[in-house]
Structure 1
Amino acid sequence: MFASGFADMFLFKFWLFCAFATFLIVVFKTDIVSGLVHGTFPILVVVCLHLFFRYPFTWFLERNPDFIVKDLGCGFFRPTGMVKFRTWREETFEAPFIEFDPYISYHVQPKGPVSYKLQLRHRYSGWQTAVAEVHSTQKEELYAHWDELQRYMDVSHPLPDIPALEPYRHLDPTTAEYDGAGKRQRPSDYWATLDLEWWEQEGYPAHMEKIRNFPWDTLEDQMQYSVSNLNEATMA
């Protein structure tokens, strides 16, 4: 937090403005000499911290990512079908993806805003982990998140066609075969070369409109096959 506060260009300008304001206050209350002696110190500190955290510190973190954030090996693992996450006891819990049941929880924030959270609860232990959280007006996005996660964990289908996974499509056997057969119908660098201005103005709004209008309740729940007679037990 401290480092990002000085590395970010916008925040750097803010701190520089505060330091310059301090300089003017010192000059106004004393004289120009005192202002140069005492008022320039905050400016020099802000500039030096910005240069340090923006360049050498960033260079160091890029080459030593574990210095601040330690990889605990948690996540959703497509090749093995396993899910691993940290519990509130600071323990690592691991179980097959098919043993988790999804649900959407409703949250009222202390200051009033309402949000929805997609969570996975382990059917046999009760441990749960959050997948995504959205504002109350964007609940449909959680349905899309769940559909995307199911397709990601299903090795019989190609990876979801999203920007984060595009560089790794050729590494997944099912996806590589799918793309090699021309079924993707997109260039291999589609997301990497996408016109961002077009996406922000037209592509993204149209994408969100499709999510809001999609009949999510008509999709077949793939997780029901992980438990025998699940539908019958639910209706009983």
Structure 2
Amino acid sequence: MTEPLTTKHAASAMKHEAVYAATAYSSQNPRDLPEGETSNERGGCFTRIAYGTPLPLPGAQCREYIAEAQCDVFDLEKLQENGSDEKKCSHMRNPHLMDFWPTLFEWPVMARTLCYVSGWLAFVGGGGATIIFGLLNGYEVALEFAKFSIPIFATWLFFKIITRGEPKLKKDTRFYRRTGMVSIYQKGEDRLEVPFDEFDPHLTHRTGPTGSTGFLLQLVHRYSDLLIQHINVYNEEFEVYLEWERLHQSMDISQPMPDRVITEPARQFDPVTSEYDEKHDRPKHFWRDMSDEEFEIRREAARKAAKDFPWGKTREQALASGWKPSEQRINWKALEATRQEV
């Protein structure tokens, strides 16, 4: 006989029903969906190349999200800026409600890309070169060289100012956690809404103009020719796998939101995530209160763990085979020393 739900569990279930739509995706209660066409059935050689290689990954298993290529100490510094959690969530377009993949060919994305590039050139290229020239050739030579960096710095400052606030995107692909739907931009038409669980992850290769090879994550619709491509080109395959895990867990309401630095303020606003954090005594500001030194130690351990993960296996299978998560790779004595220094 099934035991009746406790009052607390019943209240939690009612809260979930009020927040998450019936269409929301849950890996614990999947829909019975028909099989789609295989890669060979979809078309010829060029079609298969365009779609890439299917990724038979069993959901979020590695979960070393600070190993993501786009996660760095600058995310931690953004998190530590003044402002309420609500304001920070709004600036990120409320990640407890929606994840999104932007397209490069849209002004807010292009402006942020130019801001990043000009900032790197101004502070690393111009600033670094000025210091080196100053040490080698003296103050006057360094000052002359610094003059060439002023336009680049002014460009960075301009883009830094105009890219403040919430990005106004129209052509992005949106992934809604509470409804389980993927919203896709269509030129001249209303946005197309497709259930998330009808997409399969694929990995494809890209060769840059210099001959360098990168990897892309694509989502292929199981029942049509629809294909969605992530904007990032990754240097290593494991970064593509990790990006898919992150997206999958973001959409899966049977799991908490991925534990990422930049989206930490949003965890309290998602019922499943807030309940998980309360149950596991996760500090509300776990990442925000962390020093840069500790973050770098944790990130290095996470990247090693993600590289070593036997992708395609469950977490239990990985642990049984000898794989170690980042928590077991950290030199805790060295980490404690950084805390004492702070």
- Corresponding residue for residue 23 of structure 1: none
Offset from partner CA, 1:98-134 (integer Å, 9 cap, x none): 0101110122223210111111011222111123431
Letter of the 1:96 counterpart? P
Q: How does 1:30-109 map to 2 (within 5 A)?
A: 54=157, 62=164, 65=166, 69-71=168-170, 74-86=173-185, 92-109=191-208
Structure showing greater radius of gyration is: 1
TM-score (norm 1): 0.63
Q: How does 1:202-217 map to 2 (within 5 A)?
A: 202-217=297-312
Relative distance call for 1:60 and 1:129 in structure 2 (3 A) is closer
Q: Distance in 2 between matches of 1:175 and 1:159?
A: 6
Q: Distance in 2 between matches of 1:205 and 1:6?
A: 24
Q: Distance in 2 between matches of 1:114 and 1:52?
A: 30
Maintained 8 Å contact 1:106/1:116: yes
Relative distance call for 1:124 and 1:8 in structure 2 (3 A) is same
User: How far off is 1:162 after superposition?
Assistant: 0.8
* Uncovered stretches (5+) of structure 1, i.e. residues with no partner: 18-42, 221-236
User: How far off is 1:203 after superposition?
Assistant: 1.6
- Corresponding residue for residue 233 of structure 2: 133
Q: Secondary structure at the match of 1:160?
A: coil
- Corresponding residue for residue 215 of structure 2: 116
Q: Distance in 1 between matches of 2:117 and 2:209?
A: 29
Match of 1:176 among 255, 262, 274: 274
Relative distance call for 1:111 and 1:48 in structure 2 (3 A) is closer
- Corresponding residue for residue 160 of structure 1: 258
RMSD, aligned CA: 3.6
Q: Distance in 2 between matches of 1:83 and 1:111?
A: 34
Q: Distance in 1 between matches of 2:116 and 2:193?
A: 36
User: How far off is 1:52 after superposition?
Assistant: 9.5
Offset from partner CA, 1:143-178 (integer Å, 9 cap, x none): 122122111111111111111221111111111111
Relative distance call for 1:47 and 1:162 in structure 2 (3 A) is closer
**Higher deviation after alignment, 3-12 or 125-134:** 3-12
Q: Secondary structure at the match of 1:167?
A: helix
Q: Distance in 2 between matches of 1:90 and 1:52?
A: 34
Letter of the 2:223 counterpart? Y
Point out which structure has higher relative CO (alpha carbons under 8 A, 6+ apart).
2
* Uncovered stretches (5+) of structure 2, i.e. residues with no partner: 1-110, 130-146, 316-342
Identical aligned residues as a percent:
29
Structure with the larger strand share = 1
- Corresponding residue for residue 191 of structure 1: 287
Maintained 8 Å contact 1:6/1:50: no
Q: Distance in 1 between matches of 2:223 and 2:254?
A: 26
TM-score (norm 2): 0.45
Kindly tell me the number of residue pairs found equivalent between the two proteins: 183
User: How far off is 1:49 after superposition?
Assistant: 9.8
Q: Is 2:247 aligned against 1:149?
A: yes
Offset from partner CA, 1:187-222 (integer Å, 9 cap, x none): 11111122212322x2211101110111221139xx
